[in-house]
Amino acid sequence: METLLVVITVFYVISLFILMKNNYHPKPFSIILTFLLTFGSSVFVGFLAATFISKSYWGYHFNPPGLPQKIEEFEKIRSITPISSIKKNDDSRIFKIDTSNSCIKEIQSGIENLTTSCGTGKCNTEYCDNARILLSMSEKGKLPKKTPYISQDLLNSLYNHLEESELLYKGEPGYNGELISDANSGDLISKADGKRLQGIVVEAEDKNKQPYLFIAVNGGQVSNDHYPYYEFLFEVPKNNSTPKLIANNRFFYDIAGFEVIFVWYFIWIFFIVISFIISIPITFLVIQIKVYLKSQTTN
């Protein structure tokens, strides 16, 4: 940054010297207008860049998406099952019932202040909480006190349905369950398994008795301190054929504590500062071009 300021200062001095040498004294209004147009354009470009970076890093432009709209039509919850995935010997994956997720019992017990009582334990925000559908159903008075678990046959096929959606993030090398050589020790290590999923599956139906499957899961680490969160909404044909994916969410969150600096508006503020700095030399460059064009026309 210090080097950049030195370069800009030198450019500023040279620009003034050139302007004085050409005996061209632009009106203050012209300078201000040129600067505002340059700065405004840079700010707009910075805004687009900030939202693009946010989308690339977090999976959304401004804020994490809400639950799929179709969930508003749920009239009855048929089952709620806590799940986690396991990898079989042939490297295929299936879900198993995971009763270690106590949050479901807490929600169904009707406790107060559900938002602070439930969560993944990985971040302090509802946006990475796979139980947020249950919180939503509870607030609407549609959450039963007790439900059965999903059938084992259907549970066994769920992971394949998620794989077929091609929405599961594989993760960077070393974060997808594969063994890679450590740069320092040379030992084979695996930092994480991004496709290890943990969350809940909800069977529900609307007023027309149309069945649905809603799966909300957190993935394992896919890069340093970077985790995915998924929501899948399937419509289940009444003839029990393959469920059809009708809505989904996929975004990411960090647990490092510095994730706030990657929020789109902080990125934009950074670009605004940079835009202000670079707009000064650009303004004088534009003025110099005007000087040159004016000298050409007079000659």
pLDDT at 190: 64
| Torsion sign (Cα): 264, 265, 270, 272 | positive
Closest CA relative to residue 95, chosen from 217, 193, 211:
217
Mean pLDDT of 208-232: 87
pTM of the shown model: 0.73
pLDDT at 51: 84
All structural domains of the chain with their residue ranges: 2-57+263-298, 63-257
Convert the pLDDT of each residue in 16-58 to its tens digit. 455 445 545 556 666 677 767 777 778 888 888 888 888 888 8
The answer to whether the CB of 111 falls within 8 A of the CB of 131 is no
Convert the pLDDT of each residue in 224-242 to its tens digit. 778 888 999 999 887 767 8
The number of C-alpha atoms within 13 Å of 232 and in the hemisphere containing its C-beta is 25
The answer to whether the CB of 179 falls within 8 A of the CB of 189 is yes
pLDDT at 9: 52
Report the length, in residues, of the chain.
Answer: 299
Convert the pLDDT of each residue in 98-130 to its tens digit. 877 656 666 655 544 445 445 544 444 545 677
Alpha-carbon span 72 to 93, nearest angstrom: 31
Closest CA relative to residue 204, chosen from 215, 216, 214, 218:
214
Convert the pLDDT of each residue in 136-170 to its tens digit. 887 788 877 777 888 888 888 888 888 888 888 88
